[in-house]
Amino acid sequence: MDASLRFSSDVAFTPAVKAIQTRKGSRHAYASMERRGGWQTRITPDLAAFIESQISVFFGTASIEGQPYIQHRGGPPGFLKVLDETTIGFTDFAGNRQYISQGNLTENPKAVLFLIDYQARRRVKIWGEARVVENDPALAAKLMPAPYEARPEQVILFTVTAWDINCPQHIPQRFEAMDVAASLAARDARIAVLEAEMAMLKAEIQRSSSDVH
């Protein structure tokens, strides 16, 4: 945990935030959470499994003046890799070449990862610091998901300060198109089997009826 933080949640609960929590009546509950140890600062096995199963992440940075920027990154499951209990790495694929996130990180390493699984209605917020690694082919190859049609440009390494899981309230349940397609394909295959069985039964009934007459 950042030595400058008294509690791990102080990465988000600034004095201004705590003042509003006090005014609106939630500070007592969060103070109790802090006394119990606060937010976790290490990547647990469950969190690692969740991170590496995701196909999408929102990556937040801010300029030195405090101007925020949210960038979306996506890829196949495993494009986000947990390298150790405090480090997450991912390949930064070539895109529109605006380099806003990279520019922000040269001035202000503070960053956040926001992961949301709509199907399971689960979201995780991870605070920390990030840096861009250029011209490291070995690291890029290690983090590049395969097979995936994209051109790796550089790598982003994210060091975790603290993380928190939100409740599922207000998260709409959505399903990935490929999962829906697989379910529909399985349904259609089952229907085809049942139709074939019905046709066989009808033919057998007709034969039986013919034998009787």
- Check pLDDT > 90 for residue 40: yes
Residue 20 pLDDT class (50, 70, 90 cuts): very high
Is there a single domain that holds both residue 77 and residue 162?
A: yes
Distance, CA of 31 to CA of 18 (rounded, Å): 9
The tens digit of pLDDT for each residue in 46-71 reads 999 999 999 999 999 999 999 999 99
For 114, the 3-state DSSP assignment is strand
Mean pLDDT within 118-139: 91
Is there a single domain that holds both residue 202 and residue 115?
A: no
In this prediction, residue 175 carries a pLDDT of 65
Structural domain tally of the chain? 3
Is there a single domain that holds both residue 95 and residue 139?
A: yes
**Residue 159 in tokens:** 């060091």
Query: Do residues 82 and 151 make contact, with C-beta atoms less than 8 angstroms apart?
Result: no
Is there a single domain that holds both residue 98 and residue 145?
A: yes
Distance, CA of 71 to CA of 92 (rounded, Å): 11
Task: Please provide residue 17's backbone torsions phi and psi, each rounded to the nearest 5 degrees.
Answer: -65, -45
Closest CA to 58 of 101, 98, 95: 101
**CA-based radius of gyration for the chain:** 25
Is there a single domain that holds both residue 49 and residue 92?
A: yes
Lowest mean pLDDT among 15-24, 137-146, 152-161, 177-186: 177-186
Is there a single domain that holds both residue 145 and residue 184?
A: no
Say how many C-beta atoms besides its own lie within 10 A of residue 172's C-beta.
Answer: 6
Is there a single domain that holds both residue 108 and residue 202?
A: no
Mean pLDDT within 27-43: 93
Residue 171 pLDDT class (50, 70, 90 cuts): low
Residue 152 pLDDT class (50, 70, 90 cuts): confident
Residue 192 pLDDT class (50, 70, 90 cuts): confident
- Give the structural domain span for 187: 175-213
Is there a single domain that holds both residue 161 and residue 77?
A: yes
* CATH number of residue 113's parent domain: 2.30.110.10
Closest CA to 15 of 27, 25, 3: 27
In this prediction, residue 156 carries a pLDDT of 96
Distance, CA of 159 to CA of 127 (rounded, Å): 8
